Structure 1
């Protein structure tokens, strides 16, 4: 699909770079059919600059670097064998096929075997040291580890230890009923500095952010049949979507408006600052104005001394939320699995206990039954 839209959603002064990317699928060889709630898989390329750095750090620049004026990837003469692809030039393999950013246990073991002093890596690789390993890996990429320990290996050895570059999945942020040929994503672009102040970034988000208009991007639809807006026009929807977790709910609201559903819709949105991080503020105001969005509650965590999150807003409005659930509302959660989704789940149990008069075990059973009835569904990552 062609990348035709690249709109910055975060405002000047934000700590984050969040963008809405739109793809035009009209020229796709096979029709790209999706439903609201699906995810889009994007197959990125690694950064050519990072490929060059890899070749330099590993001492293989002669094996994989192309002419200085080549516009894209380093593409050398030395071939490496990749399963399913056969013989591939090293530079091409690093650009298109190998994951050259992620620090994996296999990579750390490989480096430890060749390092002059492997004691630190061996300690980090102990099964009881996962927390320390995660802390140590923060701010580093694979190339930083190779540079730090100065290891040398052959091109085929590196190709064997590096994992394959995988597509990145993003919740789709549009409805095909608005335009079947356009599909949009809401993406936080990952850019940071490593421990030595060198620029580092993610793989897919900057690949999209820095691509020129009309760039062809390999994409595929990952179906999510469990995560759909209510099919019944009378079923209310409660949507918890902080940060980029708001993505699918823009599509949900577009869809419910397009099909004329008049059931109430309630969105909880949260971020750091209202002034800089209120993604889709204008669109949400329009959904409120035309009656598609019945309620909008926001939690901007850093706009006051005490941090406030979406789960706090849920508890604040516990009586109304319990009433919506009693009226048959479906409850959707999208976003961070590690903390937010757990906190929201706990808030849901607390609301069932406090406002439904249930004991702790009964409240847990109620929430479990909501999920079993497919009235409580999550898209978390």
Structure 2
């Protein structure tokens, strides 16, 4: 009995896999139908906006599930492997269609009605899928203004070229830049009508660009994955949205590369230790020229300095949420704590938080990170900070969509 449990339940074998292992078995069809469970539906968040891509288009973000069983058998996810095997282009070339049974349901994430509400989006891995639809929805409103701004900029540059304010590359005749030429009354009026460039500090306060022209508040996306070359989903699209102001130009895309960042921090810590050790050796050598130092005292000083350096690294990790120099991985929860001052300012201004991803430890870890931010920058004790986050959820300003 125990062997049967280990073979079947622990390994999660399907009826088809069991029949493949025992080819001599020939159970009746009614037994197979009774033993084979119905396939569970797979639910995916829409990763696209119908407003941007059309009412008949829905895109999803699916990662191919790969794992090993307790007995080290490699397996792939049933649905994700099936979707990955589809080739619509090859089917179209052969005059065929690829059809997949789908239906739609209302999700639990609701965007605020006001476009002036900033959004804080926390979506590690494929959890970023619904936020792509959020950002595409806002970009669909911003895009016409972006085209108008681009056309206006081109017109202004052309006017300045005609007046000599801007010279093509290499156009200065004697090597010196030509000064502004006198403007006509009409051109001066056009200058006054054109929007003035914002100072850097004012432009940084909002989304800027076409989003500001459309009255759309900037969004702040916390995205985490293993590395920028592995599964950095929609990177080019995020960069475009930062230029348009849908994502904040400077703080709109905050990434946590769990493996790259951990390795980088470990290397930086090692370099810091080596530099500190070199300085200690130089100081010890200088002191030796002036006054002999017992070897035991020098060893004690080096040990004290090393302990102090470890304390600095640990303190930075505790305050900013970064891992210690021991090689701990970096996740979005670390980035949330690092950006605590910005997040508290946004929360105080009415921002709405959305969290999406795995239902294992991530949602609780993100809520704890926000509670730490509230406690530190809101001047609350731990219990009051936890209650603050709970109140955000009750008021519809903190939403979670998680799956197992």
TM over 0.5: yes
Q: Which residue of 2 aligns with 1:249?
A: 131
In structure 2, do the counterparts of structure 1 residues 137 and 321 end up closer, same or farther at CA, with 3 Å as the change threshold? Answer: farther
Q: Does residue 204 in structure 1 map to residue 204 in structure 2?
A: no
Counterpart pick for 1:182 among 43, 57, 76: 57
User: Which residue of the partner structure matches residue 383 of structure 2?
Assistant: 361
Alpha-carbon contact 2:68-2:75 (below 8 Å) kept: yes
- Whole-Å Cα distance in 2 between the matches of residues 275 and 249 of structure 1? 21
**2:218 maps to which of 240, 264, 268:** 264
Q: Hey, what does 2:304 align to over in structure 1?
A: none
Aligned residue in 2 for 1:221: 104
Residue 43 (structure 2) aligned to one of 163, 169, 186: 169
Change (3 A) 1:193 1:314: closer
Alignment check: 8 A CA contact 2:11 2:69 kept: no
Please, which of 208, 224, 231 is the counterpart of residue 277 of structure 1? 231
Residues 338 and 123 of structure 1: is their aligned pair in 2 closer, same or farther, counting only changes over 3 Å? same
Q: Does 1:378 align with 2:400?
A: yes
Superposition CA RMSD, Å: 2.6
Task: Tell me, in whole angstroms, the C-alpha distance in 2 between the residues paired with 1:344 and 1:141.
Answer: 36
Task: Determine which of 342, 361, 364 is the counterpart of 1:342.
Answer: 364
Q: In 2, distance between residues paired with 1:273 and 1:331? A: 25
Q: Which moved more, 1:211-220 or 1:167-176?
A: 211-220
- Which has the larger strand fraction? 1
1:159 pairs with 2:33: yes
CA shift at 1:276, angstroms?
2.2
How far off is 1:279 after superposition?
Answer: 1.0
Question: Does structure 1 retain, via aligned residues, the 8 Å contact 2:11–2:71?
Answer: no
Distance 2:22 2:2 in 1: 11
Relative contact order: is structure 1 or structure 2 higher (C-alpha 8 Å, sep ≥ 6)?
1
Structure 1 residue ranges without an equivalent (≥5): 1-117, 126-132
Question: Cα deviation per residue 1:7-29 (whole Å; 9 max; x = unaligned)?
Answer: xxxxxxxxxxxxxxxxxxxxxxx
Query: What is the rounded CA distance, in whole Å, between the counterparts of 2:70 and 2:369 in structure 1?
Result: 37
How far apart, in 2, do the equivalents of 1:146 and 1:217 lie?
A: 27
Q: How many residues align?
A: 253
- Structure 1 residue corresponding to 2:338, chosen from 316, 333, 339: 316
Deviation per residue, 1:38-84 (Å, 9 max, x gap): xxxxxxxxxxxxxxxxxxxxxxxxxxxxxxxxxxxxxxxxxxxxxxx
Please state whether the residue corresponding to 2:355 is helix, strand or coil. Answer: strand
Please state which structure has a larger fraction of its residues in helix. Answer: 2
Conserved? CA contact 2:15–2:36, under 8 Å: no
Deviations 1:255-298, CA, capped at 9 Å, x for gaps: 11223451120000010011222111100000011111011100
Q: Equivalent residues in 2 for 1:1-381 (5 A)?
A: 118-121=1-4, 136-137=10-11, 141=14, 143-144=16-17, 153-178=27-52, 179-191=54-66, 200-213=75-88, 214-224=97-107, 226-260=108-142, 261-294=215-248, 295-303=252-260, 304-305=262-263, 306=327, 307-381=329-403
- Per-residue CA deviation, residues 192-236 of structure 1 (Å, 9 max, x unaligned), is 566788763222112211113140111111111x41222101111
Partner of 2:280: none
| C-alpha spacing 1:354/1:199, structure 2 compared with 1 (3 Å) | closer
Quick one: structure 1 residues 124 and 339, their matched pair in 2 at CA, closer, same or farther if it must change by over 3 Å?
Answer: farther
Deviates more, 1:228-237 or 1:307-316: 228-237
How many Å separate the matches in 2 of 1:329 and 1:378? 15
